């Protein structure tokens, strides 16, 4: 029972950290802020995560697991274009839930340097999964592209997915990203696929 309570408390801390990182930006959140968000004393937070670096690493483990679940999910009907649209929307739900890892990756790497190689490895694994999905679209006549074109397309999608939030903020002056802004980002990603789509 005590172990379960400890896990529950740690999860509550991570929930609070993710909410604050997403809302304020990772650079603007202290462990005192996170403790307040989790409705506990800062000393209790340090019992579970001695350093902020450990907290960020635990939060990344969550992100890593969820990202690979999204990347490697099956396509229910490979002949139906809506299956691929739903797949892409799954990515944007992930992006919204963990937007601090897209918007503040450099800051989070500075706080937890050990994350950089783990992040790169996870991204590479996820990109391969997306390539498999797009090759499936080609096999089902929904796209026209060679494997080399698919590989480049996925890399470009990754670049835009990773940086469109910064671009949006810099060009609109918005201090925070709203859920409605995802439609703009989604449209930018969709435009990359258009040249390869079949009639």
pTM metric for this prediction: 0.88
Q: Which pLDDT does position 66 carry in this prediction?
A: 97
Tens digit of pLDDT at every position of the chain (199 positions): 455 555 689 999 999 999 999 999 888 999 999 999 999 999 999 999 999 999 999 999 999 999 999 999 999 999 999 999 999 999 999 999 999 998 888 899 999 999 999 999 999 999 999 999 999 999 999 999 999 999 999 999 999 998 898 898 889 888 788 888 888 998 999 999 999 999 7
Closest CA to 54 of 1, 17, 105, 3: 17
pLDDT at 182: 87
For the record, the structure tokens of 95 come out as 């992006």
* Beta carbons within 10 angstroms of residue 150's beta carbon: 20
151 CB burial (10 A radius; 0-12, 13-18, 19+): middle
**Alpha-carbon gap, residue 122 to 186, rounded angstroms:** 22
Contact 115, 56 (CB under 8 A): yes
Rg (CA), the chain: 19
Tokens 């139906």 belong to residue: 80
Q: What domains can be seen in the chain, in order of their start residue?
A: 1-50 (1.10.10.60), 52-196 (1.10.357.10)
- Classified as helix, coil or strand, 107 is helix
DSSP H helical ranges for the chain: 2-24, 31-37, 42-48, 52-71, 81-97, 99-103, 105-111, 115-139, 147-172, 182-193
Q: Is 67 exposed, middle or buried (0-12, 13-18, 19+ CB in 10 A)?
A: buried
Q: What is the pLDDT of residue 6?
A: 58
Backbone angles phi, psi at 45, to 5 degrees: -60, -45
In this prediction, residue 133 carries a pLDDT of: 97
């Amino acid at each position: 029972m005590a172990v379960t309570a400890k896990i529950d408390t740690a999860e509550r801390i991570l929930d609070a950290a993710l909410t604050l990182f997403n809302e304020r930006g990772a650079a603007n959140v202290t462990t005192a802020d996170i403790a307040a968000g989790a409705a506990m004393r800062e000393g209790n937070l340090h019992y579970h995560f001695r350093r902020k670096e450990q907290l960020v690493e635990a939060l990344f483990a969550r992100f890593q697991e969820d990202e690979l679940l999204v990347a490697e999910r099956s396509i229910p009907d490979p002949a139906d274009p809506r299956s691929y649209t739903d797949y892409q929307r799954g990515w944007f739900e992930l992006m919204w839930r963990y937007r601090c890892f897209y918007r503040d990756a450099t800051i989070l790497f500075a706080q937890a340097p050990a994350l950089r190689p783990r992040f790169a490895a996870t991204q590479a694994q996820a990109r391969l999964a997306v390539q498999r999905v797009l090759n499936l679209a080609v096999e089902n006549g929904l796209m026209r592209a060679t494997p080399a074109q698919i590989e480049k397309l996925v890399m470009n999608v990754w670049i835009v997915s990773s940086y469109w939030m910064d671009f949006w903020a810099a060009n609109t002056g918005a201090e925070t990203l709203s859920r409605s802004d995802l439609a703009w980002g989604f449209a930018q990603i969709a435009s990359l696929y258009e040249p390869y789509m079949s009639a």
